[in-house]
Amino acid sequence: MGIKLHKESDTRYKIVWSTDIKEENKNDPTSLVIPYSVKGKQSRIMIPVGASVVADIEILQPSNRIHLNNYSVQFNNLEFEEAFADNITHRVITYNAVQRLWLEGKLIPKMEDHLEEILKDIPRSDKGNPQLKTDLAKGVVMCAYIFTVNNIPTGFQSEYLEMKTGMPNNYITQIINRYSETFETVGKAKKHDYLWSNSDQLVIKDKPVYFVRHTDRKIKGGYLPMWIEKLVEKELSKIYKAIGYKFTLPPEYKASMDKA
């Protein structure tokens, strides 16, 4: 039987992993990947015949965050095979569900349409590298990074950022390090108010700051300075000017936190 996808809506799926007798006879049972390395532990969880794992996963609105609502394990009637479920965790299920859905181009969160357009329109060098010559281009990349840390499960964030920006993970990391400062550094400069209330350009060590990352390197994400927030909002408000709408950047683009 393998893996079956059941579409509940455009933003919600139920996934069933199971093994039938034919797969068992071919010594090819359905399995779940364990997405982290534990010394001496298995890298896959084999699902016995007659057992199954079911997951309910969706993109939450309005944040567009991938969320595993619940999962369940159905055992067969052989008690000695129940141990297969011992290593099944929320993280294991989320990883396998997203991996399968993304293979089919399903359940991939969308950023704000006009932000995605700005990212696509960033000029490229002859080698294909993005040329972030404007404050807006740098700021939108930081928005994309914050959105990704908030909404995309660990293990898929690099893939998502490359999908949306056309930049490999190492290049994104270089950009973040080059145009950011740590929260601690901003505090020492007595400029924390530039994150929440002061919309003047945040400058530290004679350089503009486009992103404030967490001081602890074990924590991914950070904060968008208010001057960048206002710059992005001003640009996108131009698009809606005809209908008199002033764009406000949603919270999922302004601050994020996740384990590195």
The domains of the chain are located at 2-103, 113-259
Sign of CA dihedral 42, 6, 70, 145: positive
**One-character DSSP codes across 184-207:** HHHHHTT-THHHHT--SPPEETTE
Give tens-digit pLDDT for 235-248: 999 988 888 889 99
What type of residue is 256? S
Give tens-digit pLDDT for 22-71: 766 566 789 999 987 655 566 889 999 889 999 999 999 999 999 999 99
Q: Which of 65-74, 96-105, 157-166, 235-244 has the lowest mean pLDDT?
A: 235-244
In Å, what is the CA distance from 38 to each residue of 41, 43, 84, 87, 260?
A: 5, 8, 16, 11, 17
- d(CA 105, CA 232) in angstroms, rounded, equals 29
Judge whether 228 and 210 are in contact, CB under 8 Å. yes
DSSP state of 258: E
Share of the chain above pLDDT 90, in %: 75
Judge whether 257 and 221 are in contact, CB under 8 Å. yes
Give tens-digit pLDDT for 12-36: 999 999 988 776 656 678 999 998 7
The pTM of the whole model exceeds 0.85: yes
pLDDT at site 40: 53
What type of residue is 241? K
Number of other CB atoms surrounding residue 126 within 10 Å: 5
pLDDT at site 76: 86
pLDDT at site 258: 85
Judged against a pLDDT cut of 80, whether residue 101 lies above it is answered with: yes
Cβ-Cβ contacts under 8 Å for 158 (sequence gap 6 or more)? 169, 172
Cβ-Cβ contacts under 8 Å for 8 (sequence gap 6 or more)? 14, 56, 58
pLDDT at site 114: 92
Give tens-digit pLDDT for 168-199: 889 999 999 999 999 999 999 999 999 999 99
pLDDT at site 260: 67
The residue among 142, 112, 109, 136 whose CA lies nearest residue 123 is 136
Give tens-digit pLDDT for 123-139: 888 877 788 999 999 99
DSSP state of 253: G
